[in-house]
Amino acid sequence: MAKPKLATCSLAGCFGCHMSLLDIDERIIELVDLVDLDRSPLDDKKRFDGMVDVGLVEGGCANEHNVHVLRDFRAHCRTLVAVGACAITGGVPAMRNLVGLRECLEEAYLKGPTVEAGGLIPNDEDLPLLLDRVYPAHEIVKIDYFLPGCPPSADTIWAGLRALLTGHQPALPYKLFKYE
């Protein structure tokens, strides 16, 4: 029988959620037995071959490329999971939502205390356009499940992922998403 397929992506995140996934230690052998990995930075595969069963999304949307990738994941993943604070709320990148985009760019490239005189705001057509603010994933596409944390612990990701890959509804105990 064909294995379920898994895809993952990192949008406006720090890859910490992917690191937490890899932190499942020896259970990674079970994961490899359980799934075929499709599009993911873990195998450096850049395109889907077809539909996959579960997609894990790290990070929110800060630029047009993030939106493109997220929509591609929604179109190809039967179940889409927002993993971590950045995907669920925008997280740390969404701190720029507190000020306007122009003000944020000026602080970063023109006026900040570490900027030398004559700074320049990047404006190259090869750079993805920044959005007016950072959007959590569910404001762009429908998200089926949310795994909270910054990052969610390896146990949390494993419990949610294993349930989905084996055809069960994730029913995580409170201790797995209680953060103090």
SS3 state at 117: coil
Angle between helices 27-34 and 154-165 (to 10 degrees): 30
Instruction: Determine contact, residues 60/93, Cβ cutoff 8 Å.
Output: yes
Sign of CA dihedral 28, 19, 133, 66: negative
Determine, following the binding rule CB under 6 A, whether residue 77 of this chain makes contact with ligand SF4: no
- Binding piece for ligand SF4, criterion CB under 6 A, among 42-50, 81-89, 128-136, 158-166: 81-89
Instruction: Determine contact, residues 146/160, Cβ cutoff 8 Å.
Output: no
Nearest-angstrom CA–CA distance, 162 and 88: 20
Nearest alpha-carbon partner for 101 in 62, 61, 59, 58:
62
Q: How many residues does the chain have?
A: 180
- String marking each residue 33-72 x if it binds ligand SF4 according to CB under 6 A: -------------------------xx-------------
Nearest alpha-carbon partner for 54 in 3, 2, 8, 21:
8
* Smallest gap from residue 17 Cβ to ligand SF4 (A): 4
Q: How many residues bind ligand SF4 (CB under 6 A)?
A: 13
> Which tokens belong to 93?
């990148």
Determine, following the binding rule CB under 6 A, whether residue 91 of this chain makes contact with ligand SF4: yes
Determine, following the binding rule CB under 6 A, whether residue 17 of this chain makes contact with ligand SF4: yes
* Smallest gap from residue 171 Cβ to ligand SF4 (A): 22
- Binding piece for ligand SF4, criterion CB under 6 A, among 1-9, 32-40, 79-87, 155-163: 79-87
CB nearer ligand SF4, residue 25 or residue 33: 25
* Smallest gap from residue 125 Cβ to ligand SF4 (A): 27
* Smallest gap from residue 2 Cβ to ligand SF4 (A): 30
- Binding interface with ligand SF4 (CB under 6 A): 13-14, 16-17, 58-59, 84-86, 91-92, 150-151
